[in-house]
């Protein structure tokens, strides 16, 4: 009977701990791995772990230049790490070498929300609609971003990256220190 009581107690504490960790990682901070070339040189291609501040979830208090984690509008099950380069009401010149926004299909995107100003291939401008942001990778040549999938709704933002830590193994946790990810647009 005593062993059963002890096992129940351990199980109870385990469930409580897991629940608290889940609440913490959903609403306060989360550690996330990053991969890909789109954020070079800010984030490494592999082995960078980022601390995501969940207080910025749903776009709360984000500003121009912030690094964010968001759901990809064309594939909501995927997360992307990008920098905010346009806020609601901003006028954006789309990269003429990509000219990707023209190829987006009306079935997959709510294009009525995007207001085109000019439509030539070298002067293609849009106004970022209310409740959305324009995002790009720091490595523009290797980034799929708003130039490809259009604006990102604020509701798809999962948080703001505040620190990154280059981890190649367990020992690197002690030899490498975390680095603060600065906003390159606005002084903090």
> Which residues are the active-site residues?
38, 82
Q: Write the CB contacts of 137 (distance below 8 Å, at least 6 apart in sequence).
A: 38, 39, 82, 83, 143, 144, 145
Kind plus residue range of the DSSP H or E element containing 164: strand 157-166
Contact call for residues 124 and 118 (beta carbons, < 8 A): yes
Distance CA 186, CA 119 (A): 30
What is the end-to-end Cα distance of the chain in Å, rounded? 59
Kind and range of the H or E run holding 34? strand 29-34
């Amino acid at each position: 009977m005593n062993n059963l009581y002890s096992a129940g107690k351990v199980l109870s504490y385990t469930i409580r701990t897991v629940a608290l960790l889940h609440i913490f990682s959903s609403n306060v901070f989360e550690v996330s791995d990053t991969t890909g070339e789109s954020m070079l040189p800010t984030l490494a291609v592999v082995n960078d772990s980022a601390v995501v501040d969940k207080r910025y979830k749903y776009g709360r208090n984000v500003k121009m230049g912030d690094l964010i984690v968001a759901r990809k509008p064309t594939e909501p099950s995927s997360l992307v790490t990008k920098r905010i380069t346009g806020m609601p009401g901003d006028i954006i010149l789309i990269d003429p070498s990509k000219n990707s926004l023209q190829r987006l299909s009306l079935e997959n995107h709510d294009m009525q929300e995007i207001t085109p100003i000019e439509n030539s291939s070298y002067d293609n401008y849009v106004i970022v609609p209310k409740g959305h942001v324009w995002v790009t990778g720091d490595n523009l040549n290797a980034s799929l971003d708003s130039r490809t999938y259009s604006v990102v709704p604020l509701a798809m933002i999962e948080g703001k990256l505040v620190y990154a830590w280059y981890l190649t193994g367990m020992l690197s946790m002690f030899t490498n220190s975390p680095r603060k990810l600065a906003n390159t647009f606005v002084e903090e």
